């Protein structure tokens, strides 16, 4: 689809060629009722990024000067609250550095609204993938994807937060097969709460019963996200989500997968999904570790051992014993975790509602490869920072970077790529990162008298973990 066609199909979108300082809008990727996603070119770092704009079409329109204008003064409170939740979500996402969670670069305020810049992810949403290639979705494929999703969700839970919007549309499957968990949708829910449209703001079939009430005594916790994840797996197996939880609370017509026994799926997987979709919160798994144990799967995270079995193939986590259940006090979730905090924050920064689709890469070629350390702290709302350049790549790699590579480095190790030493230093989480163009690369890590090596054959955009 051409840029102009996209602009016609997404009302209120910024025009192609619009500039935010070094960022130039190249294409409208898509849009919904609460945001618009753009493919943009970063002229300073010469790379493609994604930009998400807070744009609640039910509350505002775009004026001739590109600023947002409220449709009515009575929408002011809902717009401000949604934008503030948008900001809080941006700050939250910026705290995480997990390869299967949306990677935030920066956020800012402009045009009387907010924007978020993130990595540009190739591939398509799980929803579209299931529709376009149903033959590839089977138990083996689900089991390859789940440990990484478990790790991403557990990372959020371990920090005391909930996602509360897990669905097929919020899971991006990259061209290299790695899943990425996208935005929390907190702004959408906050607006729904203030406009008495809570039920329409939730995703039917994926939201558990506790999300349909404003009762502050209704306790939400990891089991809330586990219900939604169970609904995702149910949809992949059965072809449709389970019945809406509110309807089930009146008359439960849910048919357990363990009784239906769809062909090609094991009983432990089916029974675990049924447990995750129990109406009563106490009947569901209480943690991601417990849910993973029911499915007989590991939980993959940034500190787990991941290895590429073959160059260019999908990363597969090594089996290990599930970690003990966290002892966090989940009773703090009597009030929904993210949306409530956003209402009291001023409109001082930008935000994020992210979705993705398969898109072409930028037209401009980069003349060097930039090595950066992954962020470990939240970017201040009033600052726009540029990642510091540690070292340029060799002249042989003078091509457009298309992948982000995370490299596990032990204390005192040195790195060589294709025989050339790299002055790369790991972040506090033990991983260093760099961007690379297409080609074959051999990573050699030396330290403590040992050598670790791994070769990657990079052909498509994506994100990789290297831990020989």
Q: How would you write the pLDDT of the chain (468 residues) with one tens digit per residue?
A: 333 444 447 888 999 999 998 999 999 988 777 889 999 999 999 999 999 999 988 899 999 999 999 999 998 888 988 888 888 888 888 888 888 988 888 889 999 999 999 999 888 999 999 999 999 999 999 999 999 999 999 998 998 888 888 999 999 999 888 899 987 755 445 444 444 443 345 788 999 999 887 554 468 899 999 999 999 999 999 999 999 998 999 999 999 999 999 999 999 999 999 999 999 999 999 999 999 999 988 887 555 434 333 333 333 333 333 444 433 444 344 333 333 333 322 322 333 323 333 333 333 333 333 333 333 333 333 333 333 333 333 333 457 777 777 787 888 889 999 999 988 888 765 668 788 898 888 999 998 888 888 888 887 766 666 777
Angle 151-117-403 (CA atoms, 0-180°, nearest 5)? 60
pLDDT for residue 185: 57
Residues with Cβ within 8 Å of 187's Cβ and at least 6 positions away in sequence, in order, are: 34, 35, 54, 56, 82, 83, 85, 86, 89, 342, 351, 353
- Please tell me the distance from the alpha carbon of residue 22 to that of residue 364, in angstroms, as a whole number: 14
Residues 178 and 462: beta-carbon distance below 8 Å: yes
Q: In sequence order, what are the beta bridge partners of 51?
A: 38, 117
Task: Give the predicted TM-score (pTM) of the model.
Answer: 0.62
CB 98 within 8 A of CB 156: no
- CA separation for the pair 140, 265 (Å, rounded): 9
How many C-alpha atoms does 295 have within 13 Å on its Cβ side? Answer: 31
Distance CA(305)–CA(245), nearest Å, equals 37
C-alpha distance across the termini of the chain, in Å: 40
Distances (CA, A) of 375 to 98, 168, 401: 10, 27, 19
Half-sphere exposure of 421 (CA within 13 A, CB side): 4
Residues 6+ apart with CB under 8 A from 188: 33, 34, 82, 165, 201, 353
DSSP alpha helices (H): ranges in 205-299? Answer: 222-238, 245-250, 257-260, 267-276, 288-295
Contacts of 460 (CB under 8 A, 6+ apart): 122, 175, 176, 402
Residues 422 and 419: their CA atoms lie apart, in Å, by 9
The predicted pLDDT at position 186 comes to 52
* Number of other residues whose CB lies within 10 A of the CB of residue 454: 17
**Spatial contact of 208 and 224, defined as CB atoms under 8 Å apart:** yes
The pLDDT score that the predictor gives to residue 5 is 43
- Phi and psi dihedrals of 335, rounded to 5? -110, 130
What gap in Å lies between CA 253 and CA 361, rounded to an integer?
Answer: 46
Q: Are 467 and 305 in contact (CB under 8 A)?
A: yes
Strand stretches in 75-230, DSSP E: 104-110, 113-119, 124-125, 171-173, 179-181
Burial letters for 409-445: b for 16+ Cβ neighbours within 10 Å, e otherwise? beeebebebbeeebebebbeeebbbbbbbbeebebbb
């Amino acid at each position: 689809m051409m840029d102009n066609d996209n602009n016609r199909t997404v009302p209120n979108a910024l025009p192609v060629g619009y500039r935010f300082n070094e960022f130039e809008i190249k294409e409208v990727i898509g849009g919904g009722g609460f945001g618009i996603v753009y493919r943009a070119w970063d002229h300073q770092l010469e790379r493609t990024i994604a930009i998400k704009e807070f744009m609640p079409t039910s509350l505002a329109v775009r004026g001739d000067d590109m600023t947002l204008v409220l449709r009515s003064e009575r929408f002011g409170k809902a717009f401000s609250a949604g934008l503030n939740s948008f900001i809080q979500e941006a700050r939250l996402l910026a705290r995480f550095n997990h390869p299967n969670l949306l990677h935030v670069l920066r956020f800012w305020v402009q045009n009387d609204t907010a924007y978020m810049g993130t990595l540009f992810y190739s591939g398509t949403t799980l929803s579209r993938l299931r529709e376009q290639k149903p033959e590839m979705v089977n138990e083996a494929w689900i089991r390859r994807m789940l440990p990484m999703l478990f790790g991403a969700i557990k990372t959020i839970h371990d920090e005391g937060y909930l996602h509360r919007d897990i669905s097929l549309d919020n899971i991006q499957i990259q061209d290299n097969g790695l899943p990425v968990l996208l935005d929390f949708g907190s702004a959408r829910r906050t607006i729904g709460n203030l406009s008495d449209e809570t039920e329409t703001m939730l995703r039917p079939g994926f939201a558990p019963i506790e999300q349909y009430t404003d009762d502050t005594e209704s306790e939400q916790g990891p089991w809330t996200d586990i219900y939604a994840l169970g609904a995702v797996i149910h949809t992949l197996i059965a072809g449709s989500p389970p019945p809406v939880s509110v309807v089930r609370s009146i008359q439960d017509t849910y048919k357990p997968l363990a009784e239906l026994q769809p062909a090609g799926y094991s009983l432990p997987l089916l029974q675990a999904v049924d447990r995750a979709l129990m109406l009563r919160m106490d009947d569901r798994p209480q943690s991601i570790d417990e849910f993973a144990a029911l499915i007989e799967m590991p939980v993959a995270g940034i500190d787990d051992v991941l290895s590429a079995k073959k160059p260019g193939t999908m990363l597969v986590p090594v089996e290990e014993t599930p970690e003990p259940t966290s002892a966090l006090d989940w009773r703090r979730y009597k009030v929904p975790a993210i949306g409530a905090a956003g209402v009291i924050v001023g409109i001082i920064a930008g935000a994020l509602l992210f979705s993705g689709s398969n898109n072409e890469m930028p037209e401009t070629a980069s003349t060097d490869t930039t090595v950066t350390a992954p962020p470990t702290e939240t970017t201040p709302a009033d600052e726009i920072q540029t990642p510091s350049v540690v070292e340029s790549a060799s002249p042989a790699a003078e091509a457009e970077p298309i992948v982000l590579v995370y490299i596990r480095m032990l204390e005192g190790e040195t790195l060589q790529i294709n025989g050339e030493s790299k002055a790369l230093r790991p972040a506090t989480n033990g991983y260093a990162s760099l961007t690379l163009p297409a080609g074959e690369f051999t990573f050699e890590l030396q330290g403590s008298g040992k050598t670790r090596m791994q070769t990657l054959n990079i052909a498509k955009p994506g994100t990789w973990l290297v831990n020989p």
